[in-house]
């Protein structure tokens, strides 16, 4: 029965995506962020849902192109130029990297990783072309809110029902299908979902009119903290601290900074668990933690790689294979997103990544400045909410990227879609072309 209902939903979504491709964009990112195909795998088994939705969305976009309803100003931005340079560098490293081997640092074959990368980047550029009004961005925001709400429930439920099979040495891992496939199979990746999703819960929650709903959302944020604790991710704990401080600072109630940090510390001491506490103490105990030394070794090895192969890097997904050849080390990933990019795909990839990150924050600041010169209304409130949520979320992600390899993390691209579209909408409004899209 469930599979039949799912097939009907997929068929309806695909048909509507041909007529309204923005629905395909929203559906795709719901699948990419929530991963229902791994939660309810028995219903999704044998169905290539993302593929069908992507094809129908592309068909719908082609129709829009033929009737000239696409606005290319959303595609022709500096952010997209540098992201394309990053994408091109990754593809070049796949064909010309000297260490592209049978297996990659993700456990996938190079051709699988190559295909996955192209799908992610290709759909991003389709998304920024289609997501050209605030209505679509509003629904994209709802996608992240809904996905985070459910996954926080799911994570806490595993703890309260004592499903210890879902824990790996005391650390919560994400849902997996029968073949072991998962989006959040790694504990750090699962923690990043909560870190990046909590700002959306907060900013969407504080604008709710019903007081009980507002308090409910704030309660869920606290449960989100607990979900991060369950993963045992030190990077997640760092990201949680970053977004907590930024939310307090953006509220312009600076006394909230120490209050929220103290609240987070108390919650951690109360519900952090032995695994999280034992791992987090190593953040301040550099000399006593082998993984800190391993990270420095990996970073040095990564820079040795790019010095030897500045144009191509060692090859897509080949960091773990090449590392022992450039420094005395065991096989491991870079534990740093920038180092992973630059070592595997060359200087252009590293530069593209850094510039994209810089443009994101520059755009966010300009959007905030634009809002100060506008009269408050439904449009500016929606823009402010999306800008605050996405910028705090992105800051948490980038902070964690300093210590984790998040090169294939699609939430990164999702946040870029929101930032790029918001900036383009604000820029167009200075030319008198902003329409009331909030209804």
In this prediction, residues 209-223 reach a mean pLDDT of 89
In the predicted structure, residue 59 carries a pLDDT above the cut 50: yes
Long-range contacts for 137-141 (Cβ within 8 Å, ≥24 apart)? 137/382, 137/386, 137/418, 137/421, 137/422, 138/382, 138/386, 138/438, 139/22, 139/26, 140/25, 140/26, 140/29, 140/414, 140/417, 140/418, 141/200, 141/204, 141/385, 141/386, 141/389, 141/418
Three-state DSSP at 172 gives strand
pLDDT at 333: 85
Q: Write down the pLDDT at residue 266.
A: 63
Please choose, from the candidates 90, 91, 231, 250, the residue with its C-alpha nearest in 3D space to the C-alpha of residue 172: 231
| Phi, psi for residue 204 in degrees, rounded to 5 | -75, -35
Q: Is 87's pLDDT higher than 60? A: yes
What pLDDT was estimated at residue 438? 42
Please tell me the least confidently modeled range out of 47-56, 213-222, 298-307, 369-378.
369-378
Between 413 and 104, the higher pLDDT residue:
413
State the pLDDT at residue 282.
Answer: 44
Rounded (5°) CA angle 383-151-380: 5
Q: What is the pLDDT of residue 4?
A: 83
Question: For residue range 106-142, what is the model confidence (pLDDT) as tens digits?
Answer: 567 788 889 999 999 999 999 999 998 999 999 999 9
**What pLDDT score was predicted for residue 326?**
92
Query: Which tens digit of pLDDT belongs to each residue from 240-290?
Result: 989 988 998 887 765 555 666 666 666 666 555 554 455 445 444 443 345
Mean pLDDT along residues 298-310: 94
Q: Which of 147-151, 155-159, 248-252 has the lowest mean pLDDT?
A: 248-252
Average pLDDT, the chain: 87
Q: What is the pLDDT of residues 338-394, one digit of tens each?
A: 999 999 999 999 999 999 999 999 999 999 999 988 877 888 999 999 999 999 999
pLDDT-based confidence at residue 101 (cuts at 50, 70, 90): confident
């Amino acid at each position: 029965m469930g599979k039949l209902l799912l097939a009907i939903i997929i068929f309806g979504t695909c048909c509507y995506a041909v007529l309204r491709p923005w629905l395909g964009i929203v559906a795709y990112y719901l699948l990419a962020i929530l991963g229902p195909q791994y939660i309810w795998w028995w219903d999704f088994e044998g169905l290539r849902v993302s593929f069908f939705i992507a094809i129908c969305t592309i068909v719908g976009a082609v129709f829009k192109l033929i009737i000239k309803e696409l606005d290319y100003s959303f595609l022709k931005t500096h952010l997209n130029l540098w992201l394309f340079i990053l994408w091109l560098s990754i593809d070049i490293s796949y064909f010309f990297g000297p260490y592209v081997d049978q297996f990659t640092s993700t456990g996938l074959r190079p051709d699988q990783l190559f295909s996955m990368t192209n799908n992610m980047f290709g759909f991003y550029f389709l998304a920024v072309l289609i997501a050209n009004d605030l209505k679509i961005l509003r629904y994209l925001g709802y996608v992240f809110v809904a996905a985070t709400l459910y996954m926080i429930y799911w994570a806490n439920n595993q703890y309260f029902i004592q499903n210890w099979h879902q824990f790996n040495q005391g650390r919560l891992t994400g849902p997996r299908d029968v073949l072991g496939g998962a989006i959040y199979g790694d504990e750090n990746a699962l923690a990043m979902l909560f870190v990046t999703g909590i700002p959306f819960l907060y900013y969407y929650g504080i604008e709710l009119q019903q007081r009980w709903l507002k308090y409910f959302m704030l309660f869920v944020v606290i449960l989100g903290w607990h979900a991060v604790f369950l993963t045992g991710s030190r990077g997640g704990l760092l990201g949680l601290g970053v977004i907590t401080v930024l939310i307090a600072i953006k509220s312009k109630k600076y006394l909230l900074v120490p209050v929220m940090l103290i609240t987070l510390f108390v919650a951690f001491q109360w519900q952090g668990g032995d695994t999280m506490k034992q791992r987090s103490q190593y953040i301040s105990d550099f000399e006593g933690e082998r993984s800190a030394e391993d990270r420095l070794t990996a970073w040095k090895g990564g820079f040795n790689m790019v010095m030897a192969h500045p144009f191509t890097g060692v090859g897509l997904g080949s960091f773990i294979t090449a590392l022992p050849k450039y420094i005395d080390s065991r096989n491991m990933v870079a534990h740093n997103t920038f180092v992973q990019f630059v070592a595997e795909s060359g200087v252009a990839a590293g530069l593209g990544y850094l510039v994209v990150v810089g443009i994101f924050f520059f755009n966010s600041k300009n959007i905030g400045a634009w809002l100060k010169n506008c009269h408050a209304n439904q449009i500016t409130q929606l823009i402010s909410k999306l800008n605050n949520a996405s910028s705090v979320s992105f800051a948490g992600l980038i902070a964690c990227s300093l210590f984790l390899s998040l090169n294939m993390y699609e939430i990164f691209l999702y946040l870029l879609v929101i930032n790029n579209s918001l900036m383009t909408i604000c820029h167009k409004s200075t030319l008198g072309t902003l329409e009331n899209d909030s209804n």
